Structure 1
């Protein structure tokens, strides 16, 4: 493709938002090109909680049943006080929402990404293709790409495109070009892992949460043989060199959880788990006010997923909202690119209107998710005595119900 012009829709990033958008467009008969900076699909984080709203999006994309086959359906959520070890909230997940029954599973990220990739035509994803910069010449955008190994590559490819969709994560080049401010550090960090139990793990179909004493942790079985866990906390100088290696981080987390009276079977998950080489990462979010005022789209450029609404993980909605974005974006764009059922060349104004429609539909959804996640995280991890008392006596159940309510959302069909 070097030195050539490519007409059409270019998606920066082969994460959940990028692949969902590409697959949605493909289902409608519209072609796209996905540029991924890494050499392969990236599945950082191991797994993520996939709520009711995400499965509605996956069903719209035609892959929901393929995900269900390999992941457990949860029946309840149990939240425990890290101070006492006693249950602070019990919530049945076998309930009806506004649009049907709730459905929550913990899905392996690599399995979902590979499932989306396998549904796309060969050649849709171009790996080792990192956007270096974006230039504007009238209504034409020019993307300068490196080969993925270094942004100082001598050989630069230029693509001429009709639509640019930034699904390139929290450090999005596209979001920066649109003028969105950098995500804010929350002051918290997170580490994650995945444990395999070839003979079975024995956990029930439930989400286990441990809340308080400055941290939040979850243990979530993905299947009969695998269990995902996460741990978020406020780093401090007292943590020492915990973040230097996997072994030190694992020991740090186990020590913190053991002191909080976490059950032995939950500790075993962490002790036997595989962890990423990047043992922890700071949690960032985009200010809701930035999305009230900022440009989610401008002309023929927009953002989706973490490039649009990076959020802290307390709602478990980051990946779910990215899937929603993909469905809505594909629906809006396909209306512009299809005439009488066949793909055609829309004008700049039609593309701009389609992206504005997408931005209008998604703006307040993103704002609500970011705000709710931040507030829940603050309450769950606060060490303030008053908040701690309210959390353990009254708020834990309310927070759990808020998580369910935020997932009771339908992004619609393609």
Structure 2
């Protein structure tokens, strides 16, 4: 089954959905609200399920080449004591794929490279899915999805998690002893992801009221984290102030009743925005994309395919959303000294394979097979600029 599809949103999930649909014979248009594709978002750590989804889409080899495999790291206290260690080699043996770190901009570029240049339209404000000229509409328009709001007007929408995140990619390489780390203090977390070129992405998550912003965010972070173990001060010192991104963390705490309404399929944050505490947000969106393309390719009708997509994706993603919320409450958001001490002791005493088993709960996913109806490769996104803006009402 194929036809004309419009994907609303050119984030990771939307681009991945477009790649999957394009590869299975659909005529795809991607409408992106932003007028300029700045690919903001610093870096991303992809779990094996995300890499397997990219493999199913045909993008896995290029991502592996551009990404740094994560074999060493774990979780520490602000003073540097290890609470748990990550054995990336053991994870790779278990799943055949390691954790990997890559700049989001590079992942976006690799996904766009799999699409015809003419299919991406930037500056396109989509007010409603009703008037889009398509057999299928994929709502991948993010946390504050307008399409989701129109389909579920009684849904409360995103809820603030109680935490805010500041993050950046360093402007220069930083000597690092590990590929990936998290450090937990009272109501705060600092983590880093190492990249192939020696630079690193860092993030600082802090309990905070929503909407608080700082004139000099690096100065605020140095006061909060400057006494924490190295390389945390080094990462902040290697960062330009203008590169720091600051976003409050929201989630869909109230789950949606379904991910498909009529000819519309919801995907990624539009369907199941979650906190980042498990690092599964993008991975689940990639799973969505592969599953949607596979179910549509299997036919026999759009309603049947979308019903199967909903049945496959809603239970899994909503379970991961709940698990991510619990992980945040037991990790970064803890503030009481007794609770912190109990958690840290439990982590230190946990068996060596506990970290691997925790990752396997969510990362052990096998993608459905896609019918690779490959279209011509001559017209790629890197060979022409995106189409100009238009407004869709």
TM-score range for the pair, normalised by the shorter chain length: 0.7 to 0.9
Deviations 1:184-226 (A, max 9, x none): 11111111100133xx533245211101211011011021321
- Residue in 2 aligned with 1:130? 125
Distance 1:399 1:282, change over 3 A: farther
- Residue in 2 aligned with 1:334? 297
Q: Given the alignment of the two structures, is residue 170 of structure 1 paired with residue 143 of structure 2, yes or no?
A: yes
- Residue in 2 aligned with 1:310? 273
Q: TM-score, normalised by structure 1?
A: 0.81
SS at match of 2:68: coil
Deviations 1:321-340 (A, max 9, x none): 1111111111112233xxxx
Whether the aligned pair in 1 keeps the contact of 2:85 and 2:355 (CA below 8 Å) is no
Q: Given the alignment of the two structures, is residue 323 of structure 1 paired with residue 286 of structure 2, yes or no?
A: yes
Equivalent pairs counted in the alignment come to 361
- Residue in 1 aligned with 2:44? 48
- 1:42 deviation in Å? 4.2
Whether the aligned pair in 2 keeps the contact of 1:94 and 1:101 (CA below 8 Å) is no
- 1:99 deviation in Å? 6.7
- 1:56 deviation in Å? 0.2
Larger radius of gyration: 1
Whether the aligned pair in 1 keeps the contact of 2:272 and 2:321 (CA below 8 Å) is yes
Distance 1:224 1:401, change over 3 A: farther
- 1:244 deviation in Å? 3.0
Deviations 1:335-356 (A, max 9, x none): 33xxxxxxxxx8xxx2121111
The equivalent position to 1:230 in structure 2, one of 199, 203, 228, is: 203
- Which deviates more from structure 2 when the two are superposed, residues 73-82 or residues 370-379? 73-82
Distance 1:400 1:310, change over 3 A: farther
List alignment gaps of at least 5 residues for structure 1. 1-6, 135-140, 143-158, 337-345
Query: Which protein has the bigger strand share?
Result: 1
- Residue in 1 aligned with 2:167? 192
d(CA) in 2 for partners of 1:304 and 1:133? 16
Q: Given the alignment of the two structures, is residue 249 of structure 1 paired with residue 222 of structure 2, yes or no?
A: no
- Residue in 2 aligned with 1:88? 83
Distance 1:306 1:236, change over 3 A: closer
- Residue in 2 aligned with 1:31? 27
Deviations 1:292-339 (A, max 9, x none): xx1211111121011011111111111111111111111112233xxx
- 1:362 deviation in Å? 0.4
Q: Given the alignment of the two structures, is residue 356 of structure 1 paired with residue 312 of structure 2, yes or no?
A: no
Whether the aligned pair in 1 keeps the contact of 2:86 and 2:355 (CA below 8 Å) is no
- Residue in 1 aligned with 2:255? 290
Q: TM-score, normalised by structure 2?
A: 0.86
- Residue in 2 aligned with 1:262? 229
Deviations 1:24-45 (A, max 9, x none): 1111122111111112334222
SS at match of 1:95: helix
d(CA) in 2 for partners of 1:47 and 1:220? 7
d(CA) in 2 for partners of 1:99 and 1:355? 32
List alignment gaps of at least 5 residues for structure 2. 371-393
d(CA) in 1 for partners of 2:80 and 2:98? 27
What's the RMSD between the two structures over aligned residues? 2.3
